[in-house]
Structure 1
């Protein structure tokens, strides 16, 4: 019967034994087989009915009946009294069970993300929202700095407080977050989905470039600052590229007098550029701030600072003012508007352009004069500038162990790209001078450059972003802004949401899962008590309920078609047989009745057939049903057995036993019947001869809990439990076990790669099942907050249909 809220001044229901008020944690009302409800601690303390059955029975203190009870499984093996729990006061909330007393905030997830295709490529590049590295509110075009707000595990392995640089990635307005007027009240976009949406909004070239930088930084570990991945502020775009940051830059070396130390740094800078060229990547421009030194004094290239410098150059800022070292041939291309518009760069760039920039950087380090190399394209000829640089460089290195290095560095500044040496030659020269040895067997391969085509970072899509706002000039000098250092922390703005009743069902244009639009919900109201099952067949939606009726709904507009009556007890389960010969709706009730209804245009109110299982009245009740393609109907009951019925003459063909408690759920897949029970196990049976196949159980101590729901797809079996856990079995091998919700999970559905779950927590979680050769993962995709307990879930035609404890049926869908 329907549950109504008690008066505000009414006493809460209490246990008839200890007189303690029932609650949802320590004194959960459990239903004994005789029908009386006691709290869990009292049930566990009751003496056995007899010495002979000390471990398998007890005597009800109210009616004195001897009832079965497994001491090994404990009170948790008995069902909760949901009607009594619904009468519990919701205010003030219990500190230990706040989630059931208040409307829970939805997980930060959207409904059905359409960017799953990007996940395989960027799975380990999306930083969690908890990282929250942004410590300031910089101008969108500027390089920001901050630190990680939480520890990051695999694959990043970064400690909380690690300094990072953040480079904005330009996204179109509204990308990564739907407009406020389009956000449904029952869900909130997730961090991961918003990041993937922003990545998907990039051009193909920008996406390729971003993925390439992340991958290259991982391969060039300890040569470049690691690009951890991308992150987005929970409040607004842009997308940020987050990378490792070291505060000590090359500019600080200008103040040091140790030529030997600068020589080792020069050698490492050469190695960095060689490794980049080995990746097929040319920079196009360099600056002293593009390199930094780690805590051990080793040289690293910072991709974030390189891109920030490139954006300044592309925005038209004077290279002299921002310290950008750009080869003459690159400057010529940048000045050719037609060539830049057509992206006609073939044959103009290669590793020689970076050799020129590196040569200028080495001159700045060795002469300690940044302005010397910055004026090559000012007044005077290039030859005069080259001679001036050579003279200064020779004077600076005179009498030092690096004196012979001057000649090869000057040759790096040759106007003709073909006249410049290879970077490997510079490396060999520096190493030979520092090591006092002619052995260069450790030199990198200097023939790789001719084997690869190069992509230039300066001319890429990431460098052309924020072109208008990058040119920030003040008093003739451009500034590359940096965020304040760790001055404040971000607070996540998590807004609560709940299901919205939207009865206007505009279903046009929702069949395309990739189509843009808003998410809506509709409420189907006809039942007078808890919805216990949903099924689709013959062009109709069928719903069963404790009110002893089956309601039929049109799948065209979800209008109510008919109410089927006939059951004398609460309907607990429903299935549909939909084949070429006939379509049948089959329902089971708590009085062991099984009713068969024909599905046709007439939808007759009288059942086609009905019968009752023959079992003891204490154990009567059909809990679950399943149908196989071999012409059998399977019923699971409180008598711990599974019965196989022929759909031809509705006769009992077989009884399968093995479970030690109520059979709570059934599922059929790939010629196998799976059965779940309150004894915490899942058993599999051959459909051909109904013989037992195997038992799926978790060997971990303390992990036994009643199985409440099973769903199958291909070679996967997913099960949910009363303790909030779910388990995934692949080929009958447990591959994942994880706590998903705080309360019982009454309904799970695996449809393709989508995994739906809901239960006591009043939250529907939608996740994507990801499978590779070594592991199975679940990625959060959607979350919906409901007003009441979820009892059944059905996915059909891009719609999510949900049965609820408060008698409502919710339909969630995407409308344009």
Structure 2
């Protein structure tokens, strides 16, 4: 026989260490564990076996009775006792809701999402390899701040005739969820870099253009770009008198690239437009421009890949010259890596170098030499490569290394002409930067030191210490080789392939990791993809007040003093329960010994109807609650076991026996009408127009605690409650909801423009509806420490929503226009990544 053990510490009971104490619910737990279980409410504990709240003596667990019969059955000397020293009694066992994928995603990105009305789009570029521009709407400033925007993803298309309307945040989060994990990691690295380094143009966040269905990376745009300097526009470079200015600018360019390397990033390609100057003349690297420049490079390479899969050195030279004409500089190893990534084989064994931190030294040298020398530098490189590339034939192939050596010699001659013999060290380090092998190039810090010597002589410079500024052994992430540079294209390709096949995942998701999706997902997907069913069930003569499901039927109550019965199989009306003399305010279904429908009206009448076929015209039994001068009838009903609970206008909650309709208990405490009732985990929850929620023990109907009381004098009536495991949600007449997790207040948020009359919750999904005639879908994401209510989307219903019920993918909505609306999403062959991928 297995020994009885404590449900918390799993130790076998005995009369010395683990004494079983009996709780009010009948279950037992050891004395030590009961002492350490936290008390959410005064003098109560939650049973670790059945989670019912029970009374707890103020003197402690020693005043609870011992389970004598259990101790008699135990062996006084158990053969294999557990080691007490290995049990941490300070950590009781509680089951909390596991964090979801969407919770992790939303928590990680919510601070980076800019509100829709934050930004005004001034110039939108249709080319993804170009920057769009906008301005921030800042009322505090007389002049708005200019920003640059680069598309990083596509948004979920908003169909005009779709029933379900995704919210702004919902569409952004869904767009992020559609991206592969490595793509999101790359995007997150930009935010980290902007956060920790000051040499970047500040990244402000992500902003969605709802009209263009685009998600943009928004970056600060400074007043002037390096490419707009007069020395570059004129093409003659800086004068000899401007060497100190050149050195200062060159140092700041180096510092910006060093900052990029410190964050594990490699630009891969650079140009004059990648660097912006602020009002004080300081230089900053613009990540948006690097991304756009990278897309231009990728676009040029993709054009080659469309034509052929195998090219020779001369074709590589032509591609290289085309990039140089647009002032795009990238090291040879980066270009060959891009060609290899696109599946293009190059007939050359000379360029087998990997991309590393030294890959930014080559384009850095080109930018600095171009700034110093001007147009002759870039034009000289083009003149050296392009004619040879175009004249090369099969018999006379291009000698890349020889051509490159001659070009470096020409660059050295240009620098010597520009600088003379006085700055020989600067000439030498620039030529070293142009080495084919990235490992043979000097470090970024070495270039910085050489430039600094033009301003401060080494013997007078004792302030710098550049040891281990960047760990060169770590392999950095090259932006031009990353997925963001080609993400918009690949995102659409991935989605299309997934949509068409439904069986394979070209975006890199493992289909084996896709979990079973709840029917809520089918509902949302159905109404958004127009595969929904939207049926109006008509028959009531006044506002619908309540809904209940059971026995294959849907029951709806109404101000028209009736309860209608609908067949769930085809949603046809099959019967009407009549007999109430007043407005029917609430309806519930009971499935105990026999299935029953119970309805309560504004006159205090409680009617019990049999569900056995054929349905009868007369109630099985009926009774009325006692009336007094405060009386305004029944407003809410709930059932637990053989007990019926009613919330009334006389500010009380009453418990009735379902066997004979006798009043068993009256629970007082509310200061106004009890408007809503619900039962969960052995607790009866009652909400009132006084703005409070009271929790009652179902074992003895005593008050456990009061939630939501506001001592400031501002009262917003509680209109509806929904409880699911550890989460309690209350809706209020001011359009807000309040959320409690494990009876601890977590969040209050405004989600409707008017009163919320009805809510229903299924797991982490919350449906709300009310005065604004819209059903809103919320996702409750979080843990025991914090909760966020993210509005995913909404469904317009055309009338005030007064009741709501969700069961197994079916959403029923009772409306003030006398209809019951049925909404069901179909089971799609494929589901949206946002709801399926973990």
Deviation at 1:531, TM superposition (A): 0.6
Q: Quick one: distance in 2 between partners of 1:466 and 1:768?
A: 27
Q: Quick one: distance in 2 between partners of 1:709 and 1:398?
A: 84
| Residue of structure 2 in register with 1:13 after alignment | none
Q: For residues 86-97 of structure 1, what are the structure 2 equivalents within 5 Å? A: none
Judge conservation of contact 1:412–1:420 (CA < 8 Å) in 2.
yes
| Residue of structure 2 in register with 1:231 after alignment | 207
Q: Quick one: distance in 2 between partners of 1:627 and 1:246?
A: 65
Aligned to 1:134, the other structure's residue is in SS state strand
Q: Quick one: distance in 2 between partners of 1:575 and 1:794?
A: 12
Deviation at 1:250, TM superposition (A): 2.0
Correspondence 1:448 to 2:460: no
Correspondence 1:279 to 2:255: no
Question: Normalised by the size of structure 1, how large is the TM-score?
Answer: 0.72
Deviation at 1:642, TM superposition (A): 1.0
| Residue of structure 2 in register with 1:309 after alignment | 293
| Residue of structure 1 in register with 2:323 after alignment | 319
Aligned to 2:121, the other structure's residue is in SS state coil
Judge conservation of contact 2:678–2:722 (CA < 8 Å) in 1.
yes
Q: For residues 161-172 of structure 1, what are the structure 2 equivalents within 5 Å? A: 161-169=144-152, 171=154
The verdict on how the C-alpha distance between 1:542 and 1:423 changes in structure 2, with shifts beyond 3 A counting, is same
Aligned to 1:557, the other structure's residue is in SS state coil
Deviation at 1:526, TM superposition (A): 1.7
Deviation at 1:801, TM superposition (A): 1.4
The verdict on how the C-alpha distance between 1:620 and 1:194 changes in structure 2, with shifts beyond 3 A counting, is closer
Over residues 12-40 of structure 1, what are the superposed CA-to-partner deviations in whole Å (9 max), with x where a residue is unaligned? xxxxxxxxxxxxxxxxxxxxxxxxxxxxx
The verdict on how the C-alpha distance between 1:773 and 1:688 changes in structure 2, with shifts beyond 3 A counting, is closer
| Residue of structure 2 in register with 1:566 after alignment | 579
| Residue of structure 1 in register with 2:111 after alignment | 124
Q: Quick one: distance in 2 between partners of 1:655 and 1:350?
A: 77
Correspondence 1:147 to 2:134: yes
Correspondence 1:806 to 2:817: yes
| Residue of structure 2 in register with 1:483 after alignment | none
Judge conservation of contact 1:355–1:412 (CA < 8 Å) in 2.
yes
| Residue of structure 1 in register with 2:378 after alignment | 371
The verdict on how the C-alpha distance between 1:644 and 1:165 changes in structure 2, with shifts beyond 3 A counting, is same
Deviation at 1:373, TM superposition (A): 7.0
Q: 2:414 aligns with which of 373, 392, 409?
A: 392
Q: For residues 502-541 of structure 1, what are the structure 2 equivalents within 5 Å? A: 511=522, 517-518=529-530, 519-541=532-554
Over residues 647-679 of structure 1, what are the superposed CA-to-partner deviations in whole Å (9 max), with x where a residue is unaligned? 455432211111122211112233322212222
| Residue of structure 1 in register with 2:186 after alignment | 209
| Residue of structure 1 in register with 2:683 after alignment | 672
Q: Quick one: distance in 1 between partners of 2:638 and 2:353?
A: 67
Q: 2:123 aligns with which of 122, 129, 136?
A: 136
Judge conservation of contact 2:644–2:657 (CA < 8 Å) in 1.
yes
Over residues 432-457 of structure 1, what are the superposed CA-to-partner deviations in whole Å (9 max), with x where a residue is unaligned? 65454454654262451212x33322
Deviation at 1:312, TM superposition (A): 1.9
Q: Quick one: distance in 2 between partners of 1:676 and 1:526?
A: 30
Correspondence 1:190 to 2:158: no
Deviation at 1:525, TM superposition (A): 0.8
Instruction: Give the stretch that moved more between structures: 634-643 or 387-396.
Output: 387-396
Q: Quick one: distance in 1 between partners of 2:164 and 2:178?
A: 22
Aligned to 1:266, the other structure's residue is in SS state helix
Over residues 261-311 of structure 1, what are the superposed CA-to-partner deviations in whole Å (9 max), with x where a residue is unaligned? 432332232233233333332222111111112233332211221122222
Deviation at 1:199, TM superposition (A): 4.2
| Residue of structure 1 in register with 2:639 after alignment | 627
Q: Quick one: distance in 2 between partners of 1:321 and 1:465?
A: 25
| Residue of structure 2 in register with 1:778 after alignment | 789
Deviation at 1:628, TM superposition (A): 2.9
Aligned to 1:130, the other structure's residue is in SS state helix
Instruction: Give the stretch that moved more between structures: 609-618 or 303-312.
Output: 609-618
Judge conservation of contact 2:353–2:437 (CA < 8 Å) in 1.
no
Aligned to 1:408, the other structure's residue is in SS state helix
The verdict on how the C-alpha distance between 1:364 and 1:627 changes in structure 2, with shifts beyond 3 A counting, is same
Q: 2:244 aligns with which of 239, 244, 260?
A: 260
Q: Quick one: distance in 1 between partners of 2:192 and 2:275?
A: 19
Deviation at 1:804, TM superposition (A): 0.9
Judge conservation of contact 1:626–1:666 (CA < 8 Å) in 2.
yes
Q: Quick one: distance in 2 between partners of 1:772 and 1:407?
A: 60
The verdict on how the C-alpha distance between 1:235 and 1:337 changes in structure 2, with shifts beyond 3 A counting, is closer
| Residue of structure 1 in register with 2:440 after alignment | 419
Correspondence 1:749 to 2:760: yes
Judge conservation of contact 1:145–1:163 (CA < 8 Å) in 2.
no
Judge conservation of contact 1:143–1:165 (CA < 8 Å) in 2.
no
| Residue of structure 1 in register with 2:62 after alignment | none
Correspondence 1:292 to 2:305: no
Unaligned runs of 5+ in 2: 1-100, 232-237, 301-318, 389-401, 491-518, 829-838
Q: 1:655 aligns with which of 662, 666, 669?
A: 666
Over residues 348-391 of structure 1, what are the superposed CA-to-partner deviations in whole Å (9 max), with x where a residue is unaligned? 21112111111222222233445267436445721222122233
The verdict on how the C-alpha distance between 1:170 and 1:406 changes in structure 2, with shifts beyond 3 A counting, is same
Deviation at 1:718, TM superposition (A): 2.3
Q: Quick one: distance in 2 between partners of 1:736 and 1:808?
A: 33
| Residue of structure 1 in register with 2:559 after alignment | 546
Q: Quick one: distance in 2 between partners of 1:341 and 1:525?
A: 69
Q: Which structure has greater helix proportion?
A: 2
Aligned to 2:260, the other structure's residue is in SS state helix
Deviation at 1:587, TM superposition (A): 1.5
Q: For residues 11-160 of structure 1, what are the structure 2 equivalents within 5 Å? A: 118-151=105-138
Deviation at 1:792, TM superposition (A): 0.9
The verdict on how the C-alpha distance between 1:680 and 1:194 changes in structure 2, with shifts beyond 3 A counting, is closer
The verdict on how the C-alpha distance between 1:415 and 1:510 changes in structure 2, with shifts beyond 3 A counting, is closer
Q: Quick one: distance in 2 between partners of 1:298 and 1:647?
A: 80
Q: Quick one: distance in 1 between partners of 2:467 and 2:385?
A: 33
Aligned to 1:133, the other structure's residue is in SS state strand
Q: Quick one: distance in 2 between partners of 1:298 and 1:657?
A: 71
Judge conservation of contact 1:510–1:813 (CA < 8 Å) in 2.
no
| Residue of structure 2 in register with 1:39 after alignment | none
Deviation at 1:693, TM superposition (A): 1.9
Q: Quick one: distance in 2 between partners of 1:527 and 1:591?
A: 20
Over residues 516-535 of structure 1, what are the superposed CA-to-partner deviations in whole Å (9 max), with x where a residue is unaligned? 72145210112111111011
The verdict on how the C-alpha distance between 1:268 and 1:576 changes in structure 2, with shifts beyond 3 A counting, is farther
Q: Quick one: distance in 2 between partners of 1:810 and 1:389?
A: 77
Q: Quick one: distance in 1 between partners of 2:436 and 2:269?
A: 15
The verdict on how the C-alpha distance between 1:661 and 1:434 changes in structure 2, with shifts beyond 3 A counting, is same
Q: 2:426 aligns with which of 395, 405, 408?
A: 405
Judge conservation of contact 2:773–2:799 (CA < 8 Å) in 1.
yes
Judge conservation of contact 2:723–2:761 (CA < 8 Å) in 1.
yes
Q: 1:359 aligns with which of 365, 368, 371?
A: 365
| Residue of structure 2 in register with 1:331 after alignment | 335
Instruction: Give the stretch that moved more between structures: 526-535 or 428-437.
Output: 428-437
Q: 2:222 aligns with which of 226, 246, 268?
A: 246
The verdict on how the C-alpha distance between 1:641 and 1:159 changes in structure 2, with shifts beyond 3 A counting, is farther
How many residue pairs were aligned?
648
Unaligned runs of 5+ in 1: 1-113, 469-507
Aligned to 2:667, the other structure's residue is in SS state strand
Judge conservation of contact 1:546–1:570 (CA < 8 Å) in 2.
yes
Judge conservation of contact 2:256–2:284 (CA < 8 Å) in 1.
yes
| Residue of structure 1 in register with 2:53 after alignment | none
Q: Quick one: distance in 1 between partners of 2:594 and 2:141?
A: 61
Deviation at 1:635, TM superposition (A): 0.9
Aligned to 1:309, the other structure's residue is in SS state helix
The verdict on how the C-alpha distance between 1:409 and 1:552 changes in structure 2, with shifts beyond 3 A counting, is same
Q: Quick one: distance in 1 between partners of 2:195 and 2:365?
A: 26
Over residues 494-542 of structure 1, what are the superposed CA-to-partner deviations in whole Å (9 max), with x where a residue is unaligned? xxxxxxxxxxxxxx99947556721452101121111110112223221
| Residue of structure 2 in register with 1:20 after alignment | none
Correspondence 1:589 to 2:595: no
The verdict on how the C-alpha distance between 1:347 and 1:626 changes in structure 2, with shifts beyond 3 A counting, is farther
Correspondence 1:462 to 2:468: no
Deviation at 1:611, TM superposition (A): 2.0
